[in-house]
Amino acid sequence: MNNDQFGQDDVQRLHQRVAQELGITPDELKTWMINDIERVTEGGKDVGHMVVFRESTPSDILDKLQHRQSQFTAMTGVIQLD
CB 50 within 8 A of CB 44: no
User: Tell me: the pLDDT tens digits for 13-57?
Assistant: 999 999 999 999 999 999 999 999 999 888 988 889 999 999 999
**Which pLDDT does position 54 carry in this prediction?**
97
Answer yes or no: pTM beyond 0.85: no
- Residues in CB range of 32: below 8 A, 6 or more apart: 53, 54, 56, 57, 58, 61
Q: Give the separation between CA 1 and CA 67, rounded to whole angstroms.
A: 25
Q: How far is CA 25 from the centre of its chain?
A: 11
